[in-house]
Structure 1
Amino acid sequence: MTNSESYEALVRFASGQAAERPPSSPVAPAGPSASPVAVPGRRVPFGTSLPADLHRAFKVRCIARDIRMQDAVEQAVHTWMERHPE
């Protein structure tokens, strides 16, 4: 499925025109090697919960801008950290 097709499918789902949620991109599961120790350049799992409508709108915008959701979240965290120094 191309990005354009994914975007169109998500728009149909978000607007209620599609009963089924479009397939997601495959995600590699976190293995036992995941470590809470900070290593430069290494990513660690981060999970949170959002209201369903906010999550759906965020996903649609990320697809429209051809950016991965994790990259948009990383940008948001960097922005928040800059605005809220210690």
Structure 2
Amino acid sequence: MSPIKKPDQPQPQPQPEAALPPAEHGLAVGAAVGATARKSTTQRRRPSFGSYMDRDLQRAFKAACVLSGVEMQDALDQAVRDWLTKQAAS
């Protein structure tokens, strides 16, 4: 009778580097997030707008909005308004 072979143990995979370093200052988590989040500057209903952008740019934009306490729709609204103003001035 031949010996029973044990299945090979899977080799541990290297962990990918974190996208953002952990915050070392007052980061709200859980229920505290809703309590500290700013309300949208405009309460009017906005039409949906979809677009595509580079993944790294989208992640950086989202992170900057979160860290600044600004909703992405408000930051994008302001960026488009600034761009339109700049285009009108050219």
Provide the TM-score with structure 1 as the length reference: 0.52
Q: Determine which structure has greater relative contact order: mean sequence separation of CA pairs < 8 Å that are 6+ residues apart, divided by chain length.
A: 1
Partner of 1:69: 72
Which residues in structure 2 correspond to 1:5-84 (within 5 Å)?
Answer: 13-15=18-20, 41-84=44-87
CA RMSD of aligned residues (A): 2.6
In 2: Cα distance, 1:70 partner to 1:64 partner: 15
* Residue identity (%): 38
Secondary structure of the 2:66 match is: helix
Corresponding pairs, count = 52
Q: Deviations over 1:35-63 (max 9, x none)?
A: xxxxxx54111110111111111100000
Which protein is richer in helix relative to its size? 1
Find runs of 4+ consecutive structure 1 residues off by over 6 angstroms: none
Gaps in structure 2 of 5+ consecutive residues: 1-16, 23-43
Gaps in structure 1 of 5+ consecutive residues: 1-11, 18-40
Provide the TM-score with structure 2 as the length reference: 0.50
